Each structure stands twice: as structure tokens, then as C-alpha cells.
């Protein structure tokens, strides 16, 4: 079992989501099927039948379909114990598109310069969002061998939830647009929720059961009026009194730049309902995506995890 470089990856609200995924690759050499790289076995010896292996070809790739979109915190790759240099120059790609077999998705950081023979290296992905994780190796007559690939991520508890809001501006502003896993930030493209101008507009997602909510991530509209989100509040709890707006306060939203995404820690507040309230008169509430990271670990664990996580990734908020 490899030792991860960041202790937060071992926290109970993270998990290796690759284990339940579906693996594929550009070709297969000598029985080295794609699924061997997500079999949960960290054997670095190729002859022991636990590593994937492509043919020697131009631009080989390997991919795992996580079956739903996650915020990926890290990817750990275990290299084979011989011919270790073959991994040099590989890229990690993360996203929701299968264009070019997924190899056109966003690239994590720099190229993989090297991974020691038989060793494991963890690459911090800082919450990049995607359903597909690719390892892509450019070049002619390249072999791609992976002895294990782990993907640590948060599940999005809002997926499959039921959204509602205080009012709806037009046919494009449905409440469920904010949990459709589409991060388009232009209202007229039908992927943002939007209320009418009113007193104290609100939006709410029902998670169907109580969760310890650790983070709420909000994507603001990018076409105009980005300042309208300023002053909004995130509330989490299990009561529908006052439409959920009287539940405990998770965080206030001072501002989110146009078209950008910000994450707010909630410290593991227990609740079924996540509500975003915008206090004031003649206010419009527009949300282009809302994600909820949550788990069923003990509520008291939230502040411990929050502190460690924020020390490592302060740019999230």
C-alpha cells in the first residue's frame, strides 16, 4: 500500500473512487488489461498479473470512468519495478468529455517527470472536477504500464437531490439547473437557477437524508451581474421551518468573481437541507452550480478535517 503525501487523503470522507470505476485503454499487450490498474492490488511486478500494459504505439492512453462527476483531490500512480522510465512524460487528464478518448480534458499540472521503479507517487489535483481520469503518454512507439491508479475524491451529495427555490425568473431559471453537473455560467444557456427580484430570495437542495456537510461549492454566473451573489448565506440543517433559512449558518458569501467557483467549509454540520439565502429587498439569486461535499462520519470530525485541508489548499476560498 503506497504512502500518500498528504494525510488528508486518508480521512474517512475521502475514498478511492477508482475501485468501482470502469477502466479502458488504447490497446492491450500480453494480457495487461486496463482493469488491472484498479484492482486494489499494489503489486509492482508485471509478471504477477496486476499491471495494465498497452502495445508499443503512438500516444497510448489509459482511462477510468468514475461513473459520476467527482471533485478529484489526488491521483496516485504505482509504477512497475522494471523499465520504470517508460512512464516519464505521461500526463494526467481530468474532465467530463470523451472527445479524443478523454485526452483533451484538462491536464493536471506538469508532466510526470518520473516515478521510481516499483514506487508510488501522489499528484494533488486540488478539486479538479470530472468523471474521466486519463493517463496519456505522447510519442511514437510508447508503452504505457500502470500497476495501480488510485483516485481520491469527494462525492457530490447534491447529485440526485431535489432542488427548489422561492420563485423562478423564466423558463431558463429552474432550481434544478444548479445541480445538473453542468458548469456553464451563462443564464440563457439554461444551466443556472434564477429567482425573480424579491425580498429574501432563497434556493434549497434536499439531500434526502442527513449528512455531515463538509463543503459547499458555488459557481457564479459569468455573463453579468456577478455582484448579486454578494451577501448570500449558506444554511445547513434538517428543518424546513422558514424554508430552511433558519437552519445553522455554514458560511457567508462576500463575493464570487464572474464565472468563477468558490468553496466554503461547513465543518461537518449535520443536515438534510442545504439552503442559500440572499437577505434584502429586490434581490435576484442566481446559481450556476452548487456542489455539496458530505459524508456520514461523526459530526465532531468536521473541524479537524477542515483545518488540515485548508492549511494545504487555502486558495479554495
Is the pLDDT at 317 greater than 70? The verdict is: no
Lowest average pLDDT, out of 84-93, 121-130, 240-249, 302-311, goes to: 302-311
pLDDT digits (tens, 9 = 90+) for 161-176: 999 999 999 888 999 9
Q: End of a domain among 154, 183, 216? A: 154
Please compute the mean of the pLDDT values over residues 225-245 and round it to a whole number: 96
Beta-carbon neighbour count of residue 182 at 10 Å?
A: 17
Is the pLDDT at 316 greater than 50? The verdict is: no
Q: Are residues 143 and 256 in the same domain?
A: no
Output the pLDDT for position 99: 95
Q: Is 51 contained in some domain?
A: yes
Please compute the mean of the pLDDT values over residues 29-44 and round it to a whole number: 94
Q: Are residues 53 and 14 in the same domain?
A: yes
Cβ-Cβ contacts under 8 Å for 171 (sequence gap 6 or more): none
Q: Are residues 71 and 149 in the same domain?
A: yes
Q: Is 1 contained in some domain?
A: no
Is the pLDDT at 238 greater than 60? The verdict is: yes
Bin 115: left if φ > 0, else alpha if -120 < ψ < 50, else beta.
beta
Is the pLDDT at 13 greater than 50? The verdict is: no
Q: Is 197 contained in some domain?
A: yes
For residue 217, what is the domain's CATH number? 2.60.120.260
State which H helix or E strand residue 309 sits in.
helix 302-312
State which H helix or E strand residue 215 sits in.
strand 202-219
The domain of 71 spans 7-154
Output the pLDDT for position 93: 96
pTM of the model: 0.61
Q: End of a domain among 137, 154, 171? A: 154
Output the pLDDT for position 305: 35
Q: Is 243 contained in some domain?
A: yes
Q: Is 85 contained in some domain?
A: yes
pLDDT digits (tens, 9 = 90+) for 47-73: 899 999 999 999 999 999 999 888 788
Q: Is 304 contained in some domain?
A: yes
Q: End of a domain among 128, 154, 180? A: 154
Q: Among residues 97, 115, 116, which one has the least CA distance to residue 107?
A: 97
What total of structural domains would you count in the chain?
A: 2
Is the pLDDT at 113 greater than 70? The verdict is: yes
pLDDT digits (tens, 9 = 90+) for 129-159: 889 999 999 999 999 999 999 998 877 889 8
Amino acid at each position: 500500500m503506497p504512502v500518500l503525501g498528504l494525510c488528508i487523503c486518508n480521512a474517512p470522507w475521502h475514498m478511492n473512487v477508482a475501485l468501482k470505476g470502469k477502466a479502458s485503454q488504447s490497446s492491450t499487450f500480453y494480457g495487461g488489461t486496463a482493469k488491472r490498474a484498479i484492482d486494489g492490488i499494489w503489486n509492482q511486478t508485471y509478471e504477477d498479473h496486476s499491471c495494465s500494459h498497452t502495445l508499443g504505439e503512438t500516444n497510448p492512453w489509459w482511462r477510468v470512468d468514475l461513473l459520476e462527476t467527482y471533485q478529484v483531490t489526488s491521483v496516485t500512480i504505482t509504477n512497475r519495478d522494471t523499465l520504470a522510465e517508460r512512464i516519464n512524460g505521461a500526463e494526467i487528464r481530468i474532465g467530463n468529455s470523451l472527445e479524443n478518448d478523454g485526452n483533451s480534458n484538462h491536464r493536471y499540472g506538469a508532466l510526470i517527470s518520473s516515478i521510481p521503479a516499483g514506487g508510488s507517487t501522489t499528484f494533488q489535483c486540488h478539486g479538479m472536477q470530472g468523471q474521466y481520469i486519463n493517463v496519456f503518454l505522447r510519442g511514437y512507439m510508447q508503452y504505457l504500464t500502470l500497476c495501480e491508479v488510485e483516485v481520491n475524491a469527494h462525492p457530490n451529495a447534491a447529485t440526485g437531490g431535489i432542488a427548489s427555490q422561492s420563485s423562478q425568473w423564466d423558463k431558463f431559471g429552474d432550481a434544478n439547473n444548479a445541480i445538473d453537473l453542468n458548469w456553464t455560467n451563462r443564464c440563457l444557456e439554461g444551466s443556472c437557477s434564477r429567482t425573480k427580484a424579491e425580498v429574501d430570495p432563497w434556493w434549497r437542495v434536499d439531500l434526502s437524508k442527513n449528512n455531515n456537510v463538509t463543503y459547499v461549492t458555488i459557481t457564479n454566473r459569468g455573463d453579468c451581474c456577478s455582484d448579486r451573489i454578494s451577501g448570500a448565506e449558506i444554511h445547513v440543517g434538517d428543518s424546513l421551518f422558514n424554508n430552511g433559512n433558519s437552519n445553522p449558518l455554514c458560511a457567508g458569501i462576500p463575493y464570487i468573481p464572474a464565472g468563477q467557483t468558490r468553496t466554503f467549509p461547513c465543518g461537518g454540520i449535520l443536515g438534510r437541507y442545504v439552503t442559500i439565502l440572499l437577505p434584502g429587498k429586490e434581490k435576484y439569486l442566481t446559481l450556476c452550480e452548487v456542489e455539496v461535499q458530505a459524508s456520514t462520519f461523526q459530526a465532531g470530525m468536521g473541524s479537524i478535517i477542515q483545518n488540515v485541508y485548508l492549511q494545504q489548499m487555502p486558495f479554495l476560498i
